[in-house]
Amino acid sequence: MLELQNVKKAYKNFSLDCSMRVKEGQITGLVGQNGAGKSTAFKAALGLISFDGGRITLFGKDIKALSSKDRARIGVVFPDSGFSGYLTVKDIVPVLKNLYSAFDAPFLIEQAGRFGLPLNQQIKAFSTGMKAKLKVLIAISHHANLLILDEPTLGLDVVARDELLFMLREYMEQDERRAILISSHLSADLETLCDDLYMIHRGRIVLHEDTDVLLSDYALLKMDRAQFDTLDKRFILSCKDEPYGYSCLTNQRQFYMENYPQVAIEKGSIDGMMTMMIKGVSA
Amino acid sequence: MKGLLIKDMRLMKAQRNFFAMVAILAVVLSFSTQDISFIVGYLGCMMPQFVLSTISYDEFDNGYAFLFTLPISRKGYVLEKYCFGLLLCAASLALAVLLSYGVGLAKGVRDFQSTWVAVPIVFSATAVLLSILLPLHLKFGAEKARFAIIGVIGAIFVLVYAVVKIPGVFGIDMKQFASAIYALNHVALTAGALAFALCIALLSMKISTAILCRREF
């Protein structure tokens, strides 16, 4: 559905060189530190910035050849951008009605009521959670085939985050041909939501794996220096010096469980993996 | 484009008090002048500010990034701003004519020819002013555009000075030229002003589109 092939973008202090793919029927996550290049990749995918090399295709078309009709099949959420805060939900309804042929006004109004979003209040007076919910509602209210969500849960409390993730699950359940590309710095959101995950660091994709595999096969090994010296390092992706010895990231948890019972093995978590991929070195 | 027009009209709603204040001020000031067509000129001059304010609203809080993910092209966005300017200008001049008649009748004026003469001239002048300001706002943003506008006004002043003075060096009498323009038929003068405004607006729209297509959000 969306593919970035060796997309390059150079700034003065940062460069992006990224390849990734979002498949139909899947939720793909993009994780990385602040400034890792998540938003730059999203903006390139949406044609908001030019890129120096590579190719981006959306719905099988080159991004530069996208028509307004194609754009109407995308729903987008940015953490720091949206409709003017001086508008109300009631103002936005006729705007969207005239921009999207598939816009479902009753759905937006009904969902706004369900999530306690006032129709006649200016958006600037909404709380962070209300603004985030409205952005997602707008993105899904015109039956988009692809959602591109950059940090949609930013600044939300646990309850608001759960409600928002629930909305996304409902959206996916309605049509199996839909897809979502989502970024978040909160790995817990992505662990439960995504089918596959890309990890980006300093503008480069450093890891891509199915979430199930990440959570079942990846693990963090903790050991002292003597254990590290005798360890089979064929399946070690990266290691990090620790006060107690070493921590190592592996994608063959079972192998180390069977062969190194004395080594402490922690089940894979996205946070742990991200720390290891960023701060660790290859064994 | 209709969706964007609705958005801008809804944004204007947020400024309705300011707009009402401008209209009231125009009426109050027109009582202190002899010429009732003053209202037309005053409201016409104020209009570009309202159009430009919608760009500021769009730009505020990185709003462009979201706007250009909607099913609109950058060319479509530019076209909408010019159309919105045209509509707003026409609406405010219609209001100005109504107010002018109201004030005129209250002052016992029976001849409203000056109002009708002013309408197309003010419309053309407003269109030209907007055609200069819109690309500047799209290029520099609301804040930086203020400095750019000072530069443009300076450049226009130098240009007008040059147009008036340089022909004199070559022995061309500009007063005679001006008299010839004044002597033109009123209809021809109006048509010329409107045609000139249209040409400037089309050129400005092309420049604005090129500016916006190059911008990154």
Q: Is the pLDDT of residue A187 over 80?
A: no
Distance CA A160, CA A44 (A): 29
Q: Residue B116: its pLDDT value, please?
A: 86
- pLDDT for residue A56 is more than 90: yes
B57 at interface of A, judged by CB pairs closer than 8 A: yes
Q: What's residue B168's pLDDT?
A: 76
Per-residue pLDDT tens digits of chain B, which is 217 residues long: 899 999 999 998 888 888 888 888 888 888 887 777 888 888 888 888 888 889 989 988 788 999 999 999 999 999 999 999 999 999 999 998 998 888 888 888 778 888 888 889 889 999 998 999 899 999 988 778 777 777 777 887 888 788 777 877 777 777 777 777 667 677 888 888 899 999 999 999 999 999 999 998 8
Is the predicted pLDDT of residue A154 greater than 90, yes or no?
A: no
Say yes or no to pLDDT of A226 above 90.
Answer: no
Residue of B nearest to A96 (CA): B3
Which residues in chain B are closer than 8 Å to A47, comparing Cβ atoms?
68
pLDDT at residue A165 is higher than 70: yes
Q: Is residue A37 within 8 Å of A11, Cβ to Cβ?
A: no
What is the arithmetic mean of pLDDT over A158-178? 88
- Cα end-to-end span (Å), chain B: 20
- Residue to test with chain A: of B15, B62, B69, most A Cβ within 10 A: B69
Q: Is the pLDDT score of A188 beyond 80?
A: no
Answer yes or no: is pLDDT of A106 > 70. yes
Put simply, the answer to whether A82 touches B66 (Cβ < 8 Å) is yes
Lowest mean pLDDT among A32-46, A124-138, B158-172: B158-172
Residue B99 makes CB contacts below 8 A (sequence gap 6+) with: B23, B26, B27, B30, B39, B43
pLDDT at B44: 86
ipTM of the complex: 0.84
- Give the pLDDT of residue B158: 86
3-state helix, strand, coil in chain B (%, to 5): 85, 0, 15
Q: Which of A262, A259, A263 shows the shortest CA–CA distance to A248?
A: A263
Query: What pLDDT was estimated at residue B87?
Result: 92
Q: What residues of chain A lie within 8 A of the CB of B216, using their CB? A: 43, 48-50
| Distance, CA of B58 to CA of B154 (rounded, Å) | 28
Q: Does B4 touch chain A (CB under 8 A)?
A: yes
B17 at the A interface (CB within 8 A)?
no
**CA A146 – CA A149 distance, rounded (Å):** 10
Q: What does the pLDDT read at residue B182?
A: 67
Lowest-pLDDT range of A117-126, A248-257, B64-73, B105-114: B105-114
